[in-house]
Structure 1
Amino acid sequence: MSIRDVSNGRESLEVFEPFMGKAGASAEAIALAPSSKGKDILLAIKALSDETRVRILRILSIAPLNVQEVTEVLRMGQSRISRHLKILTDAGFLISQREGSWVYYRPKDIEKADDFSSHLHALLLTFENNLPYSEHDLAKTKGLLKQRDLKTSKYFDDVAQNWETIQSDVLDPILYRNKILELLPEHSGRIFDLGCGPGGLIPYLLTKGQEVLGIDSSAKMIKKAESLFLNNPQVRFLESEIESLPVELANQADSVVSSMVLHHLSNPARAMKEVHSVLKEDGTFIIVDLKKHNQEIMRDNFADLWLGFEPELLTDWLEHTGFQVQSIEEVESQKYFKVLIIKAKKRGGL
């Protein structure tokens, strides 16, 4: 029987019987066997044939969330959400990332990947305003992220007066501050200090820059820092969320330093895009952060959202955002943490 002869349901079944265990598959039947890529395409289409999974993929495109947070946004049971997350992960849409007892889910970098699921995801987002419960899910997700940020800001407001002491009890800043200075260009016109806190790093940065702008989301941290630099015209401060910096800062910084900041942010990858936008061409970006660890006590005691990062993940985010990573160093601390110190250069606009 040739492929032309397949004209009704019974003949179709005869063609596909070899794939259900019947011996002696014909050449025509083998030709009709789905390829690996074909199976991936069908799996992706099937995964997005469900309204709940479309909603999940959309909200995770806003920011990484853990299972509990997804259930909070969609008001559904955890077992149901977990099943849908597994289907989306198996179909190639999501990546899971364990943070101690929590597991966060995030989409693949769809601008970078070239598989069918990434193209389908990108197409879906071009119609995001027409997706089921679009406005509701967007508002709920933004509200959840705002609560995250408020919790972090409240923590830092509460500890503003004693932050330097609290920080040194866990990880002495001297361990990495001198390294930051080594990696910064010898002369920077303007340096942005992201998550500046009470300003402990700023005197060091002034040795490398003509002007320092300290940025923090905590009003009390900013107030504390301002009181230390009242008569210094080289230092200014700005209260702002790091994941949404003011547009007027675009292309204003020669160098940006993020020292022990990213693990407090809801969306570190988004913050990197903001850094890219405020840096001048060939500007320097220095990241100091914790390497991946399992000390969950850091969540309760220090408002950490992420238990550090693998260097490969930070490198992937940086390169995808438009940075060229120039160096990565791991520094041992006197405690149980390792510190990652990364230098990157802005390659150009996205």
Structure 2
Amino acid sequence: MVSRQPFTVTGASAPDRYVALCRAAGDGVRRDVLCVLRQESLGVLELCRIFGVPQPRMSHHLKILLNAGLVQTRREGTYVFYRRAISDPQDPCHDLHMSLMTAADQLALAKLPARRLAAVHRERARQSQAFFTQHAAELHMQQARIAGYADYAECFDTARRQARIADRAQVLEVGPGDSPLLAVLAADYAEVTALDNAAPMLALARERAAASNVHFIEGELDALVGSWDLIVLNMVLHHMPSPAAAINNCAALLHAGGTLLLADLCTHQQTWARKACGDRWLGFEPADLLAWATSAGLVAQSTSFAAMKNGFQVQVHTFTHSKLTAPNRAVK
């Protein structure tokens, strides 16, 4: 398991760091980039599209942010994504770094870039939907090379039992596919909803769990209406266009005190999974999942890790929502 580390700028004195940070944040485009990267990992072409900036100019802005230690890159095979850097507490300019990020978080993204960011998410979602529509029939053979449910079922079931979900609970599983988990949930809880945006994958779910207490919905998570006691994201987050937005939407769909149960891959570099399994993200660092959940108002309850298999490791997390009232739909 790879843990995300603070980003350290080497070879710069404290006064130079101060100047670099102020200079990097003192530009409108770079300020907006920091704003949009609050919970996003984006490629340079996606950032160009969002802000209507030519690639050479955007690359120049990103280089300044990178050299100042405000952003860092994550390489996944031939893909390079930009995201906010974690400040090193030992950096003499740590407080300034954190203040700049806090200030960026208080700024609302302008309407046009916000619409373009939503368009990037929709395009990612369309690509994922097209992949699963085309490859649903043979997908289980490829996914078995990574991890089948049986490989981490003990971890998952332990986390589920520890969450003490009532038998009468209303449960939502997002992207169940042909995993046997949906049938397990249907046997243990009063009412289960299965959501998928690809009709062939939803058909596989129907074959797996045809119980009378399972309801099937074809659609997107961000358009779903309702509220649930337990929401399950089982090996689906790495297909989502924006993992942070997906967790936020789940939080908005939970009843007060409800539970989000999440199983997904730890960070890896097995790039064949993109083409073979339609994976958009090569796993996640636990710290990122925790940060996204915390930002969504969720409280971490447990974390566990299944044994490594074929170079992949599955992490299982439970989060609860402490909100007093539950909205009846996800935030769009």
Query: Is this a same-fold pair by TM over 0.5?
Result: yes
The letter for the 1-side match of 2:304 is E
- Which residue of the partner structure matches residue 147 of structure 2? 171
- Change in CA separation of 1:46 and 1:334 when aligned onto 2, cut-off 3 Å: closer
Residue 13 of structure 1 is matched in structure 2 by none
Is the contact made by 1:255 and 1:285 (CA closer than 8 Å) also made in structure 2? Answer: yes
Q: Which amino acid aligns with 1:240?
A: G
Superimposed CA distance per residue, residues 30-82 of structure 1 (whole angstroms, 9 cap, x where no aligned partner) = xxxxxx79975x65654355444355345545843112322344565544322
TM-score w.r.t. the length of structure 1 is: 0.74
Q: Which has the higher contact order (CA 8 A, sep 6+)?
A: 2
| 1:314 counterpart residue number | 289
Letter in 2 for 1:260: M
Asked if the contact 2:174/2:195 (under 8 Å) is kept, the reply is yes
Matched, 1:86 2:69: no
Q: Which has the higher helix share?
A: 1
Shift of residue 209, structure 1, vs aligned partner: 1.2
Q: Is the 8 A contact 1:91 1:117 kept in 2?
A: no
Larger Rg computed on CA atoms: 1
Number of the residue aligned with 1:326: 301
Instruction: Give ranges in structure 2 of 5+ residues lacking alignment.
Output: 1-13, 87-95, 326-332
Q: 1:288–1:340: 8 Å Cα contact kept in structure 2? A: yes
Shift of 1:299: 1.4
Cα distance in 1 for residues equivalent to 2:298 and 2:307: 26
CA distance in 2, matches of 1:57, 1:311: 22
Letter in 2 for 1:118: M
Name the structure 2 match of 1:16. Answer: none
Q: Which runs of 5+ in 1 are unaligned?
A: 1-35
Give the whole-Å Cα distance in 2 for the aligned partners of 1:108 and 1:240.
Answer: 34
User: Do residues 118 (structure 1) and 101 (structure 2) align?
Assistant: yes
Pick from 234, 240, 246: which aligns with 2:213? 234
Distance 1:240 1:87 in 2: 40
Q: How far, CA to CA, are the matches of 1:278 and 1:121 in structure 2?
A: 27
Q: Once the 2 structures are TM-superposed, how far is the Cα of residue 278 of structure 1 from its aligned partner? A: 1.4
Conserved? CA contact 1:322–1:349, under 8 Å: no
Name the TM-score, length of structure 2 as normaliser.
Answer: 0.77
Matches within 5 A, 1:143-222: 143-184=119-160, 185=164, 187-188=166-167, 189-198=169-178, 200-222=180-202
Partner Cα separation in structure 2 for residue 50 and residue 307 of structure 1: 32
Aligned pair partner of 1:69 in 36, 39, 46: 46
- Residues 214-273 of structure 1 show CA distances to partners (whole Å, capped at 9, x for unaligned) of 11121221233235555x32001122323x142x32xx2121111111111121111111
Are 2:299 and 1:288 equivalent residues in the alignment? no
1:262 lines up with 2:237 in the alignment: yes
CA distance in 1, matches of 2:311, 2:189: 33
Whole-angstrom distance in 2 between the partners of 1:162 and 1:38: 55
- Judged with a 3 Å threshold, the aligned counterparts in structure 2 of structure 1 residues 257 and 302 are, in CA distance, closer, same or farther, namely same
Alignment partner, residue 275 of structure 1: 250
Q: Is the 8 A contact 1:181 1:204 kept in 2?
A: no
Q: How does 1:334-345 map to 2 (within 5 A)?
A: 334-345=309-320
Aligned to 1:11: none
